[in-house]
Amino acid sequence: MKEQIIKFNKHIAAMAVVMLFAVGFLSSSMAMAAVHSFNFTAKTLPNGQLGYATGGSDAEAVIPGPALFVKQGDTIQVTLTNSTAVDVGFNVPGLVNSNSAKATPGQTQNYTLHANKTGTYVYHGDNNGKELLGLFGAIIVDKKNGPIDSFVNGDGSIVPVTQADIDKQFVLFMVGSTFWGTEISADGVQKPLWAAPNLGAVENDLVRFHVLAIGPGHTFHLHAHRWLKTDTATVIDTKLLNDGTDTHSFTIKAGSGVGPGDWQFHCHLIAHMEAGMHGSFRVDAAGSGDGASVVGASPYGNILLGARPSEPGVVTLEVSDEPASWFRSPRGDAIVGLPFDIKSKSLEVMYPGSSVNFVMSDTNGVHTISSLLWPTGAHHMPFDQSAAYRGGGIVKLTTPGLYVFTCKVHPYMFGAVIVDDPETEGLDLGNPAMDYKIDLVTGITGLPTSSDLAVRLLRTFFVATSPSNWQDYSTGIWNLKFPTLPVRISGAPFGNIQDGGLALALSALNVVDAPLAVGAAPEKPGVGEVWVNTQFEKTAGKYKPGTTTVVDTTNWTVKRKVALPEINNNNPHNMWTNRDQSVIYQTQWFDTKLSMINRETGALIKNITVGNTPSHVVTLPSNDDLTIAINGENGVAIIPAGTTSVSKMLPTQAHGHTSANPHGHWVSADGTKIVTPNINTNDIGIYGATGGIHARTPTGNNAPGAHPIAIGMMPDSSKIYAANLLHHSLSVVDGANGALLKTINLIADYNPIDGSFADNDGNGAIAVGVLPIQSPVSPDGKAVVIAATGGQIVIVDTKTDKIVKMLPCDPGCHGANFGAKEGGGYYAYVTTKFGNRLTVVDIDPDNNGDISDAHIAGYVSLVDTPSTAKDDTVSSLPGFGGQGVLAVPNVYNGWVQNLPDVWKSGLTAAQRNPVGH
């Protein structure tokens, strides 16, 4: 290896020299330009990921795709044959390409590129996020002659290197929160290192790194090594790879100045580090090691139906905005097609020592990838991140059993991986060494997989992730199907346990052809309209899911569907309205937008960027300003009344503290306080409407991850009620000072082992609310109505703060809000995600103030009819995904007083002034 120290007295001189060289090479290279021809095939890998192969049709696709090394001035010709089921292109940002067309499945396309600029370029499949599944690779364009790079030597000198000097090269793609690597030997042989590899070199090897990124951005850092900022003499050790596609190539001398060691390389974004985005660069002392890299997790490796069981494998889950498929295996269709009656595309099976990889490739929102449950004693659990982000994750799983992942921001997004011991019959649902028990993120440890709670959680998973298991009232029939695979669980009472813990298949729980009827509508009309975010309903004119269904409460019919195809309206989640009830404000929870909709026509007024993953919107009754909980971040956005952009964000935590991630907030009737349930910090925050943190009150009795998710407030703001989703409780907090008054256990009457219900809390009612979500207080302050996603409606009397009633609800019970009942009183409108009817609860049918006779007044189908006005055609999941619900007119104290007379005239005197009565 030749080393030549070049000294630049002045930077100007250096630049001049470089420019001179460049001109020289450019002219000479034109004369000697080569044409490189590559035959590419896009293929589907065994785990469902996609990749490019070069060579014949038998060649194996690799991730990253083959690295193409060319010289400046060369021409690259790529013939691409598409063997996948999706359209695939060959796009190279930064280089001129003769063809922007994509090859349809089975088709071939030709691309000609001119490598007229040196640098490192990403090529990718250009297919709406599917390229993040593996259709990416590197093109490295080097100078024709002379040095191709320089490194910073241990003595501080900058040493130019030629291609011949380089001992090895690494291509490292940063995708999601996973490194995908290829090693290239000195003689040009490319070896796939797959996902999350550990790199190796011998001390003083000259190693060239090509770090590339596609998708959300990263920073790359390698411990104890320095290199040059591209085309400068500035020394760096961390480099931003920005959103989209970005690249950075550099050369180091392994261990120079620092010696041998296991030097970590990693992305330096905290959330990505927490999601597993790191590896080791092992530098062996000369003579004491061969500097070999350690291959990572391969899509061909040890997974269900994998090709090479001897190698560590990887299953992948794509994070998606698509209903039920929020964590979708790219081979989900194939898994559903297996003869085991698996209806979920969000379940993967692999073997110990393989990894699960996540990539947020089909979403506009920010998320976390967080453990919900795992086999007792499993390593690397719980998997979690301290903030929501864009990216992905990777984690190696060695202990057999069931692992369920969720997103803390969207806590019904579920993905599951069963790590199965291949030596035993049946799928292991728990750790065999720990009697097949599981731990839950809420602090429950050693829960038998045979327990009622474990079985309920499994049922919830297979309902949430399988639309065919949802209750579609328009079909009149309901089937609930679970996999026919035998499973290994803890023991009695569930299933027919045989020796060794083999239980009946989950399909023993199947519901077959159960009749399903919407039920009668309420006898007494409501006042005005009810707007329901049917967040999963799909329409023909847009890719993203979700509509808003408008119910006319005078005749209980679906009056309108608002899909907003022109903005690809994405998962509309919650709503509020302005004082004169003319504009509906609606958040897009898997996106960054708030939409303003003309209430009378359903037309879009404006689509506004408000921040990552906005959840709820509430106006200040005092001035009609909008307050928007930015659920993916750390504040409440404010849009002043009459304007259409965010003026400021009120922080929900002190500077530098863990992001609170507020979800379903509420506002005091006088408009002075904003109260948020902070899902990431597990507390209730009370904030001044113009700023200032008044209180942060922890919920859930210090259990980890109580997950307060929605707020209700007394009409005089004296008390705050917060539903704790994962703690199955309702926190009661003093509205004046934030003091915790009481924590009402919503599952006290439930025995999690045998599933029996009894009045264990002695309140005179047998009532259970599993996974409570919304908890509004009636405008007259009598009742808290809690929608529990486990399928219950629980009613709490605010006089005693005791549960007085449980009513049935459909699976995925979610939203609740009050509207006026004709002639006085209030209806609570309750929505469900996995059913397509609206439940109408009358909290006080005889209007005597005693709410213990609360009952279900009736039901309304949310499926459109021929007379429904609409801006798009419903294509699937009709009326499903009920979440936010808003009655118009808004009759809560503080807001009702601001209604225009035309709306007030439909209300009784008590309804017009709910606190005065």
Partner 1 sequence: MSFQINQSSCDMPLSQSAIETTKIPYRSFCARAAAGFVLAMSISFIGADKSYAAEHVIEMTAKDISDDGFGNKLLAYQMLSHKIDGLDVTDRYSNAPTIPGPIIELTEGDKVKLTLLNAIDPAYPVAGASKQVSVHVHGVHYKILSDGTLRVINRKLDEGAGEGPEDTFASYEYEWDVAPGTAGTWPYHDHNYENHNGSEHKGLFGAIIVNPAATPRPQNSYKFSKEYVLYLGDDAFWGVEIDSTTKKQTKHGVNPTLNAPKNTDVRFHLIALGTDLHNFTLNNYKWFDPGTHNLINQVAIGPLEKHVFVIRSKNSTQYVDNNFSNKLLGMKGRFIVD
Which parts of 218-237 interact with Cu ion (CB under 5 A)? 218
By a kind-dependent CB cut-off of 5 to 8 A, residue 409 interacts, out of Cu ion, partner 1, none, with Cu ion
Among 114, 191, 221, 802, binds partner 1 (CB under 8 A): 221
Q: Does 274 bind partner 1 (CB under 8 A)?
A: yes
Q: Does 156 bind partner 1 (CB under 8 A)?
A: yes
Q: Could you tell me which stretch among 106-114, 688-696, 765-773, 890-898 binds partner 1 (CB under 8 A)?
A: 688-696
By a kind-dependent CB cut-off of 5 to 8 A, residue 83 interacts, out of partner 1, Cu ion, none, with none
HEC string of 727-772 equals: CCEEEEEECCCCCEEEEEECCCCECCCCCCECCCCCCCCCCCCCCE
For partner 1, the closer of residues 30 and 286 by Cβ is 286
For partner 1, the closer of residues 36 and 268 by Cβ is 268
What 8-state DSSP symbol labels residue 246?
A: E
Q: Give which of 138, 220, 208, 130 is closest to 179, Cα–Cα.
A: 220
Q: Does 609 bind partner 1 (CB under 8 A)?
A: yes
Q: Does 5 bind partner 1 (CB under 8 A)?
A: yes
For Cu ion, the closer of residues 275 and 820 by Cβ is 275
For partner 1, the closer of residues 243 and 853 by Cβ is 243
Biggest CA pair distance of the chain: 95
For Cu ion, the closer of residues 25 and 179 by Cβ is 179
By a kind-dependent CB cut-off of 5 to 8 A, residue 7 interacts, out of partner 1, Cu ion, none, with partner 1
For the chain, the first-to-last Cα distance in angstroms comes to 91
For partner 1, the closer of residues 538 and 696 by Cβ is 696
Q: Would you state the structure tokens that stand for residue 338, as one six-digit string?
A: 């297996």
Q: Could you tell me which stretch among 120-128, 241-249, 351-359, 538-546 binds partner 1 (CB under 8 A)?
A: 241-249
> Alpha helices of 384-504 — where are they, by DSSP H?
452-464
By a kind-dependent CB cut-off of 5 to 8 A, residue 324 interacts, out of Cu ion, partner 1, none, with none
Residues contacting 272, CB < 8 A, separation 6+: 177, 218, 389, 391
β-sheet bridge partners, residue 120: 140
Q: Are 396 and 354 in contact (CB under 8 A)?
A: yes
Q: Could you tell me which stretch among 202-210, 231-239, 359-367, 674-682 binds Cu ion (CB under 5 A)?
A: 359-367
By a kind-dependent CB cut-off of 5 to 8 A, residue 410 interacts, out of Cu ion, partner 1, none, with Cu ion
Question: Interaction with Cu ion in 377-396: which residues (CB under 5 A)?
Answer: none
Q: Does 235 bind partner 1 (CB under 8 A)?
A: yes
- Torsion of the alpha carbons at 117, 122, 127 and 129, rounded to the nearest 10: -140
State in angstroms the smallest separation of the CB of 409 from partner 1. 14
Q: Could you tell me which stretch among 43-51, 213-221, 282-290, 575-583 binds Cu ion (CB under 5 A)?
A: 213-221
What 8-state DSSP symbol labels residue 72?
A: T
Q: Does 240 bind partner 1 (CB under 8 A)?
A: yes
For partner 1, the closer of residues 244 and 823 by Cβ is 244
Q: Could you tell me which stretch among 141-149, 228-236, 454-462, 887-895 binds partner 1 (CB under 8 A)?
A: 228-236
State in angstroms the smallest separation of the CB of 657 from partner 1. 5
Q: Does 692 bind partner 1 (CB under 8 A)?
A: no
Q: Could you tell me which stretch among 236-244, 705-713, 771-779, 785-793 binds partner 1 (CB under 8 A)?
A: 236-244
Residues contacting 812, CB < 8 A, separation 6+: 412, 463, 464, 789, 791, 832, 833, 834, 835, 882
By a kind-dependent CB cut-off of 5 to 8 A, residue 367 interacts, out of Cu ion, partner 1, none, with Cu ion
Q: Does 646 bind partner 1 (CB under 8 A)?
A: yes
How far, in Å, CA of 685 to CA of 613, rounded? 19
Q: Could you tell me which stretch among 5-13, 44-52, 210-218, 426-434 binds Cu ion (CB under 5 A)?
A: 210-218
Q: How many residues bind partner 1 (CB under 8 A)?
A: 83
- Per-residue x/- marks for partner 1, 379-408, CB under 8 A? -------xx-x-------------------
Question: Interaction with partner 1 in 8-37: which residues (CB under 8 A)?
Answer: 8-9, 11-12, 14-15
Burial label for 155, CB within 10 Å (0-12, 13-18, 19+), is exposed
How far, in Å, CA of 404 to CA of 453, rounded? 14
How far, in Å, CA of 258 to CA of 281, rounded? 13
For partner 1, the closer of residues 68 and 174 by Cβ is 174
Q: Would you state the structure tokens that stand for residue 392, as one six-digit string?
A: 């992905």
Question: Interaction with partner 1 in 74-113: which residues (CB under 8 A)?
Answer: none
Q: Does 630 bind partner 1 (CB under 8 A)?
A: yes
State in angstroms the smallest separation of the CB of 407 from Cu ion. 3
For partner 1, the closer of residues 303 and 594 by Cβ is 594
The string over 287-319, giving b where at least 16 C-beta atoms fall within 10 Å of a residue's C-beta and e elsewhere, is eeeebebebbbbbbbbbbebbeeebbbbbbbbb
Half-sphere exposure at residue 131, Cβ-oriented, CA atoms within 13 angstroms: 24
Q: Are 349 and 408 in contact (CB under 8 A)?
A: no
How far, in Å, CA of 562 to CA of 872, rounded? 8
Among 219, 479, 507, 557, binds partner 1 (CB under 8 A): 219
- Per-residue x/- marks for Cu ion, 400-419, CB under 5 A? -------x-xx---------
CA distances to 47, 54, 274, 366, 665 from 658, in Å = 36, 47, 14, 16, 18
Q: Does 269 bind partner 1 (CB under 8 A)?
A: yes
How far, in Å, CA of 560 to CA of 833, rounded? 19
Q: Does 7 bind partner 1 (CB under 8 A)?
A: yes
Question: Interaction with Cu ion in 259-298: which residues (CB under 5 A)?
Answer: 267, 269, 272
Q: Give which of 342, 470, 453, 360 is closest to 405, Cα–Cα.
A: 360
For Cu ion, the closer of residues 410 and 599 by Cβ is 410
Q: Does 198 bind partner 1 (CB under 8 A)?
A: no
Q: Does 725 bind Cu ion (CB under 5 A)?
A: no
> Alpha helices of 417-471 — where are they, by DSSP H?
452-464
Q: Would you state the structure tokens that stand for residue 182, as one six-digit string?
A: 């290829």
Q: Does 626 bind partner 1 (CB under 8 A)?
A: no
CA distances to 271, 372, 404, 466, 487 from 429, in Å = 29, 14, 11, 19, 7
By a kind-dependent CB cut-off of 5 to 8 A, residue 800 interacts, out of partner 1, Cu ion, none, with none
By a kind-dependent CB cut-off of 5 to 8 A, residue 407 interacts, out of Cu ion, partner 1, none, with Cu ion
Q: Are 673 and 687 in contact (CB under 8 A)?
A: yes
Q: Does 695 bind partner 1 (CB under 8 A)?
A: yes
Question: Interaction with partner 1 in 650-669: which residues (CB under 8 A)?
Answer: 651, 653-659
For Cu ion, the closer of residues 388 and 518 by Cβ is 388
The beta strand positions in 242-384, using DSSP E, are 244-253, 261-267, 278-284, 314-320, 327-328, 347-350, 354-362, 370-375
For Cu ion, the closer of residues 69 and 358 by Cβ is 358
How far, in Å, CA of 528 to CA of 550, rounded? 10
Question: Interaction with Cu ion in 361-380: which residues (CB under 5 A)?
Answer: 367
Q: In 3-state terms, what secondary structure has residue 381?
A: coil
Q: Are 538 and 876 in contact (CB under 8 A)?
A: yes
Q: Are 369 and 271 in contact (CB under 8 A)?
A: no
Q: Could you tell me which stretch among 103-111, 255-263, 565-573, 892-900 binds partner 1 (CB under 8 A)?
A: 255-263
Q: Would you state the structure tokens that stand for residue 847, as one six-digit string?
A: 């209007």
Q: Are 170 and 183 in contact (CB under 8 A)?
A: yes
How far, in Å, CA of 13 to CA of 19, rounded? 10
State in angstroms the smallest separation of the CB of 282 from partner 1. 8
By a kind-dependent CB cut-off of 5 to 8 A, residue 297 interacts, out of partner 1, Cu ion, none, with none
Residues that bind Cu ion (CB under 5 A): 218, 267, 269, 272, 367, 407, 409-410
